[in-house]
Amino acid sequence: MIDYISSPLFRLGAVLLVVLSGLSLNLYAQDAASTSSSRSAAATSTPLPTQSQIEAQIKLLEASTSLDETLKSSLIELYRRALVNVSEIEKFDARRTELADALKAAPKQTQALQKTLERETSAGSAKPPKLPTGLTSDQLSQRLNQAQAETAAQELRVNELNQLIDASQRRPEAARERLIVIKQALDAQTTDTPPLTDDAPELTQAQAWAAQTQRQALQSEMRMLEQELLSQPASLTLLKLQHDLAALHLRDLRVQQRALEEALSQQRAEQAQVEQQAAERAQREAEDKHPLVREWLQHNAALTAALSASAQQLSGLSEERARVEAERKRIEDDYRGAKQRLEVAGLTRALGQVLLDQRNQLPDQRQYRHQINARENAIADATLRQIRHREEDRQLRDLDRYLDELALSEPAVQARGVRPELLDVLKQRQNLLRQVIKSEDDSIHQLSELNYAAEQVVQAAQIYEAFLAENLLWVRSATVVNLDTLTNLPAALGWLVSLDGGAEVVQVLNERIRHSPLFWLGLALNIVLIALTPRARRAIRARAEPLRRVRTDSIRLTLEALGLTLLIALPAAYLFWLLGQQLMLSPLATPYTRALGAGLSQVAFGLYCLRVFRLLALSSGVAEKHFRWKLTTLTRLRRDFGWFTLYVVPLALMTGALYQYNDPAHTHSLGRVLLIACLIGTSVFFARLLHPSQGAIKQFLLDHPHGWLYRLRSLWFPLIVGIPLALAVLAAVGYLYTAAILFQSLVYQLWLVLGLIVAQQTVVRWLSITRRRIALQAALERQAARRAQAEHEPSERSDTSAVPEVFQVDEAEPDLAALDEQTRHLINAAIFMAGVIGLWATWSEVLPAFSVLERFALWHYSGVVNGAEQLIPVTVADIGMVILIVAVATIAARNLPALLEILLLQSNALSAGARYTIKTLSSYLITTVAFLLAFNTLGMQWGQIQWLVAALGVGIGFGLQEIIGNFISGLIILFERPVRVGDIVTIGDTTGVVTNIRIRATTIRNWDRQELLVPNKEFITGRLLNWTLTDQQNRISIPIGIEYGSDTRKALELLGRIANEHERVLDDPAPLVSFEGFGDNALLLMLRCYMDSLDGRIGVVTELNQTIYDTFAAEGIPMAFPQREVRLHTHEPLDVRLHSIRHNAEQRSRPSVIG
């Protein structure tokens, strides 16, 4: 057979067979391909179905009763999809035609708009309109209302055009992204065309129409987008021309509105003046009239004065509103111009200086909000006054009736000649009231409009400020250090120490001393604080004495010492702040005094923090006596904080003054040098303070050699020391604003960390005091218990009963060290949360700048936005967010479950197993949510990765079957809870307490304190004995043997009484005493009783055995013990033999035999 296979004839036949098979397969493939291509060609050449054809098919299907319901619903869905596609095709084609027509008409429209704009521009600024003479205030008010409505409408038009321009400028990018998506969809439709089935021709036609219309809709949208990209430049030009023309019209309308407001204000003022003159004249003429008439004339005079004041207020409100609207327009124009320059030129140094100048010119939002609140109060007051005036006007509508009612309280009304005169006065008042009500209406309206304009200013300032915060950090605000920097140093230094500046400071302080009582009050308060300093130091030392004894120690002493330390550190910083505020707020303040005052105010808080932390480290201070810090650590802290305060405070003061003065020549020269000096000094301060082997932190690292600070010291120490140096380099190369802002945030972060350290040490000290008091109380209680036991109880014997090993469970007393560790976890968690909040607050000014990372796209993924499929970028910011999510999730998974467990310890309703289950599941939940958020941020949707997950699941299922089985079993254990932490279980030949349930295995500690790791799968698939699953009750069985001849009835009674009298033995089920039988050497009795739990079982068994022994001995019932009788027959001679002793284990254990 082998020879036949190896023959040439066989090999030739095999080759021919393979060739023929290949040819036949090739012919079949060509035939299949030709068939498929013919079908595709046929489908492509098929005309596009119309809307009426599709609707007819849907109606036929809905009326059909012969089709299967599943097939019928699928067909209707396909036809409806085709119907939507046809509608989209019509919409896209109509839009493309519209864009093409607009492109054709654009040149003429552009030319016409340019001519109109040139004509309007050449006419110059708008002139106030000439108003007809003789217009009443009501007519002017009507015209003003109409002008205001036209101005508001035109403002809306201008804002709408601005939005259209912005949208048009952003549209090309979105259109190109959409074109990419469409081309990908068309390619996918070409390659993934579903096969046409011959079994269901209805389904074939529906699928073909749906696919054909979808492809045509994509092609129509693509042609529309291409036409839109062609038309975009012309459309943008038209929009800009329309905007410029609308802005000119808005300017003219504002001029007209302003003219009408001035005319109306002038007329109201003139009218109010006429009314006031008339009221004064009437008062003069009424000197010889009745007192009641003179009183009402005085009321009218007061109303006239109010009308005049309201007219003046309206004039001021109009001017204020015009100023606020101009401010809003300036901010919006600056914002729009900055955005355009940024898009065109990018982040250049020139743009950076412009942005810094505009940032300094932004209005104070707090002042605007204060003014808005004040105007809201004014609106409320005006509304109340108007209500009163309307009520009075309602009463004066029937003057005769009003006079009759007035006569009831004022009989003089009926006097001769008084009523007619009073009637004339009331008519004047009625006219005045109506004018005042109208004026109050206008005032309320003007105040509301002014508030609205002010809110728009605040909103515009916030938007622009956010834009500046996003971009200023990345803009070079100065040139690299060069010769000009050194050349400008003398001028900047001369300005800083100039005699003129000193004279201005003296002048301002002299004015404050003469005219500001608050300045005197502040100086007096500072003098009092300085005078109290020695007494406060003595009080701190006095509060250290009671700390030596537990009975006198208290956290109150530490809090008082901290408060006194804060008080001692206050005078210098408060003086800096007080002088700074007076130099800035004085009416005689100059740019020099404002800059110096700003520097003093800014450096005051830093000086205060430095003073506080140095005072904490003083001898006999809080850190030494209360926190128990090492003397070497305190010495280094005093040294480093001392020299750093003397070094950095003057430099920071001068730097702040130069930056507040905002002269680029001074800021870029001396200001930059001082800032670099501050940064270098800060780096040296960090290096000396935090050096692992020589700094103040050395002792802490030696005390915690296994902590992460010690293990990562080679990483964090160079990083912390290098950050200020890196900022100094940034300042040297021109990023002055960036270096200053980051340095400010870094300093705030330093104060936050030091403050959290003090807070943590304070809470730990409270914990230490509490722990010492608990330990002292426990020691006193144990001592009292031993004394009472020695006095009242007999001595106990040391005999113990044999107890089955499975029940030898001893419940330890509360472990203070364990409770202390749990509380420390809670403290650390609270400090961590406070640190996160403080970190967010200190870096809030810098965080918006990182939004620039959203501009750098790494890749794109397809997603649906507002119902349309678009390409969504994954940016560098998204990667940073993923890293942040993973970091936060890691910290949360490690700390939050422990915190949750500590909080759940307060609930007595939850067992240890339930608390452990909640803690473990919360950890799993945090991890799962973090992964889902991270995947979603990266654009990984479930529909995209489910097949990958399924494939990995299959691979893992085969490769890691046991591990996955144990993991699933662990989840089942956590949910079903056949075993819980703290349960006593027997699995196999091991009995112990469940101490931990992990992902793969469960830990059981046996009675020898050995820990056994049992795979979770064994708890689910194997046999398990849980002694404490549902019922903690357990039975104690104590066998007793008494001698033959003893009184068994009495013994049984004694056993029952002993069991009933023990406090740990349950009454239900009741104890059971039985006579079990007759043994070889004893009468066998049995005591069976129950406990509520296994806690203290060994002690209860011992107490019962001891009590039984003592009671039986006292009652004369002897305990039995084994007895043996040996009988020796001596009536025959003894046979004595001598054998050698074997040296093995068995022979050594036997006695020598003599026979």
Is the pLDDT confidence value at 567 over 80?
A: yes
Q: Is 860 helix (H, G, I), strand (E, B) or coil?
A: strand
Q: State mean pLDDT over 941-952.
A: 61
Q: Burial letters for 489-510: b for 16+ Cβ neighbours within 10 Å, e otherwise?
A: beebbebbeeeebeebbeebbe
Q: Is 2.40.10.10 the CATH number for 955-1029?
A: no
Q: State mean pLDDT over 83-104.
A: 91
- What letter would DSSP give residue 68? -
- pLDDT at res. 294: 77
Is the pLDDT confidence value at 793 over 60?
A: no
In sequence order, which ranges of 793-911 are alpha helices (DSSP H)? 816-842, 876-904
- pLDDT at res. 261: 77
Q: Burial letters for 366-384: b for 16+ Cβ neighbours within 10 Å, e otherwise?
A: eebeeebeebeebbeebee
- Nearest Cα neighbor of 481 from 732, 782, 829, 762 is 732
Q: In what order do the strands lie in the sheet with 1011-1015?
A: 1011-1015, 1001-1006, 990-997, 984-987, 1025-1026
The alpha carbon of 245 is separated from its chain's Cα centroid by a whole number of angstroms, namely: 46
Q: In which band, very low, low, confident or very high, does the pLDDT at 799 lie, cut at 50, 70 and 90?
A: very low
Among left, alpha and beta (phi > 0; psi -120 to 50; other), residue 977 is left
Q: State mean pLDDT over 1055-1081.
A: 89
Is the pLDDT confidence value at 1135 over 70?
A: no
Domain range summary for the chain, segments of one domain joined by +: 1-31, 52-129+137-268, 286-474, 483-781, 955-1029, 1034-1114
Bond from prior residue into 794 cis (ω within 30 degrees of 0): no
Q: In which band, very low, low, confident or very high, does the pLDDT at 951 lie, cut at 50, 70 and 90?
A: low
Highest mean pLDDT among 54-58, 456-460, 882-886, 894-898: 456-460
Structure tokens of 538? 């003595």
- Torsion 1097-1100-1105-1106 (CA) sign: positive
904 or 1107, higher pLDDT = 1107
- pLDDT at res. 818: 45
Its CATH class, for the domain covering 1034-1114, is alpha beta
pLDDT, tens digit, 9 for 90 and up, residues 144-194: 888 888 888 888 888 888 888 888 888 888 888 888 888 888 887 765 555
Other beta carbons less than 10 A from residue 594's beta carbon: 20
pTM exceeds 0.75 = no
- pLDDT at res. 931: 82
1000 or 615, higher pLDDT = 615
Question: Alpha-carbon distance 568 to 550, whole Å?
Answer: 28
- pLDDT at res. 718: 92
pLDDT, tens digit, 9 for 90 and up, residues 95-112: 999 999 999 998 898 898
474 within 8 A of 347, measured Cβ to Cβ: yes
Q: State mean pLDDT over 532-561.
A: 88
- Cβ neighbourhood burial of 980 (10 Å; 0-12, 13-18, 19+): buried
Q: State mean pLDDT over 409-429.
A: 77
144 or 917, higher pLDDT = 144
Highest mean pLDDT among 255-264, 283-292, 968-977: 255-264
Q: State mean pLDDT over 216-227.
A: 91
Contacts (Cβ under 8 Å, ≥6 apart) of 202: 67, 71, 75
- pLDDT at res. 260: 82
Q: In which band, very low, low, confident or very high, does the pLDDT at 719 lie, cut at 50, 70 and 90?
A: very high
Q: State mean pLDDT over 31-41.
A: 38
Structure tokens of 807? 């029940």
- pLDDT at res. 127: 67
685 or 932, higher pLDDT = 685
- pLDDT at res. 670: 92
Is the pLDDT confidence value at 1148 over 60?
A: no
Least confident window among 591-595, 639-643, 977-981, 1096-1100: 977-981
pLDDT, tens digit, 9 for 90 and up, residues 438-447: 888 888 888 8
Indicate the average pLDDT of the chain: 79
- Cβ neighbourhood burial of 470 (10 Å; 0-12, 13-18, 19+): middle
- DSSP lists the bridge partners of residue 1014 as 1002
Q: In which band, very low, low, confident or very high, does the pLDDT at 1134 lie, cut at 50, 70 and 90?
A: low
Is the pLDDT confidence value at 410 over 50?
A: yes
Q: State mean pLDDT over 200-216.
A: 84
DSSP 286-350: TTTS-HHHHHHHHHHHHHHHHHHHHHHHHHHHHHHHHHHHHHHHHHHHHHHHHHHHHHHH-S-HH
pLDDT, tens digit, 9 for 90 and up, residues 766-783: 888 887 787 778 778 777
- Which one-letter amino acid corresponds to residue 937? T
440 within 8 A of 389, measured Cβ to Cβ: yes
Contacts (Cβ under 8 Å, ≥6 apart) of 87: 51
Structure tokens of 710? 């010690």
The alpha carbon of 946 is separated from its chain's Cα centroid by a whole number of angstroms, namely: 31
Is the pLDDT confidence value at 195 over 70?
A: no
pLDDT, tens digit, 9 for 90 and up, residues 116-147: 888 877 766 666 777 777 777 778 778 888 88
Strand 1011-1015, strand 1034-1042: pairing:
unpaired
